[in-house]
């Protein structure tokens, strides 16, 4: 029996922040995959190696974690005053599903660098030496991201001495500005969808006794539900294995996520949560305390403002998602939120938080306008590096 040969598609495998993804130019995709739909989803899943009942991604480019099961499409900007459109797909590991509901803040770093690598930036705007300002239109959530990408001899400078906890080796620093992150343009809601800085979230009894949990639900960077670590039996110093090797804990976190998604209006029924795995994120916060990071490095309480642990795609993240860091920075800047309270309260324009791999600093500028909180931008530094470039191959009958 004859089987179709493999086809090859130009692709670049890039680390951005603490994530990795397969980057493709829209113009290089097969015609049927250049538009949203089933063909594109099937292509992305086959590239990554999903769905994989073995949860190993042996037959694909994925790494069987939420941080490494990602694909990105870049193209010339479709909106004025931007350079590129950046579209992100979070590929489920064990299910036939691609989630388009949010952004990846870590890969936003790589999107800026790849835009230059891929020839999508006007050469006149790329300096021989200096910083290239890449104006990115994040097409999933319809927001602007500005990447300040270092350039040497007309090429992206990838090597350097900037260290990012959760990434093994140093690289060149890329500064990201997330503009007006306090409203998810695709959802059209306010920064606090419930209208409250803190809510009593109704959850199943198996989550907490009494069935209610204090929560700050915010849409900034990405929809996120924050709860206090102590309220769910944690200290905020937990590492990945302590949560991910506990099926009962993961079940409780998913129940909180579903309850939050319903309260935030992201879904109408609990069943819809299965088709929206990427958002909202769940994070738990605690005041500073000394702990040992996954690398073995001691993080002193005096070196951080608070502790945060966050889950992505049903598992505790090994460091911190970039979009969740935006939510953390934003919530910390607004007095009264659980994040702000964990950081000691008061007004602030930046916060350094401890995560499983170390620490991260993020800044946010918040203000009240007509009684409503808004954030003009959030700022953080990441890095990006091309790991491999060439072609990715998939069987010809994939889509």
Exposed, middle or buried: residue 65 (CB in 10 Å: 0-12, 13-18, 19+)?
Answer: buried
Q: Report DSSP state, residue 68.
A: T
272 Cβ contact partners less than 8 Å away, ≥ 6 residues apart: 261
C-alpha span between 220 and 40 (Å, rounded): 28
C-alpha span between 7 and 398 (Å, rounded): 9
Kindly state the tokens that stand for 263: 């309260």
Q: Report DSSP state, residue 5.
A: P
Check if 71 is active-site: no
C-alpha span between 392 and 395 (Å, rounded): 10
Residue 346 CA to its chain's centroid (Å) = 27
Catalytic member of 104, 264, 320, 380: 104
Task: Give me the phi and psi of 61, to 5 degrees please.
Answer: -85, -10
Q: Are 337 and 226 in contact (CB under 8 A)?
A: yes
What's the residue count for the chain?
399
Instruction: Report strand pairing: 84-91 vs 98-99.
Output: antiparallel
Check if 104 is active-site: yes
- Known catalytic residues? 104, 321
């Amino acid at each position: 029996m004859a089987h179709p040969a493999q086809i090859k598609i130009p692709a670049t495998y890039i680390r951005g922040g603490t994530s990795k993804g397969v980057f493709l130019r829209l113009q290089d995709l097969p015609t049927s995959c250049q538009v949203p739909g089933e063909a594109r989803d099937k292509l992305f899943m086959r590239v990554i190696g999903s769905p994989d009942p073995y949860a190993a991604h042996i037959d694909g480019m994925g790494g069987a974690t939420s941080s490494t099961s990602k694909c990105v499409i870049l193209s010339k900007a479709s909106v004025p005053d931007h350079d590129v459109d950046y579209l992100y797909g979070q590929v489920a590991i064990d299910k036939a599903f691609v989630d388009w509901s949010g952004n990846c803040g870590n890969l936003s770093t790589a999107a800026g660098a790849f835009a230059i690598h891929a020839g999508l930036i006007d050469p006149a705007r790329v300096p021989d030496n200096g910083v290239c300002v890449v104006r990115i239109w994040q097409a999933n959530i319809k927001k602007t991201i500005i990447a300040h990408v270092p350039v040497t001899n007309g090429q992206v400078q990838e090597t350097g001495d900037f260290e990012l906890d959760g990434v093994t080796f140093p690289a060149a620093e890329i500064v990201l500005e997330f503009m007006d992150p306090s409203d998810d343009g695709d959802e059209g809601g306010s920064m606090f969808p419930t209208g409250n800085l803190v809510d009593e979230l109704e959850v199943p009894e198996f989550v907490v006794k009494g069935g209610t949990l204090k929560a700050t639900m915010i849409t900034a960077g990405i929809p996120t539900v924050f709860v206090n670590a102590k309220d769910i039996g944690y200290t905020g110093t937990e590492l990945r294995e302590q949560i991910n090797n506990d099926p009962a804990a993961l079940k409780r976190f998913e129940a909180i996520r579903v309850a939050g998604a319903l309260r935030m209006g992201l879904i109408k029924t609990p069943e819809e949560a299965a088709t929206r795995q990427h958002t909202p994120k769940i994070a738990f916060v605690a005041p500073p305390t000394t702990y040992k990071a996954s690398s073995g490095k001691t993080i002193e309480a005096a070196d951080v403002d608070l502790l945060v642990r966050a889950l992505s795609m049903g598992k505790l993240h090994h460091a911190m998602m970039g979009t969740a860091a935006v939510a953390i920075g934003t919530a910390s800047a607004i007095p009264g939120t659980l994040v702000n309270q964990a950081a000691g309260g008061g007004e602030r324009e930046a916060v350094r938080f401890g995560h499983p791999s170390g620490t991260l600093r993020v800044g946010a500028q918040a203000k009240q306008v007509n009684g409503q909180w808004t954030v003009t931008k959030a700022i953080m530094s990441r890095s990006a590096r091309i790991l491999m470039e060439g072609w990715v191959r998939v069987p010809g009958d994939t889509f």
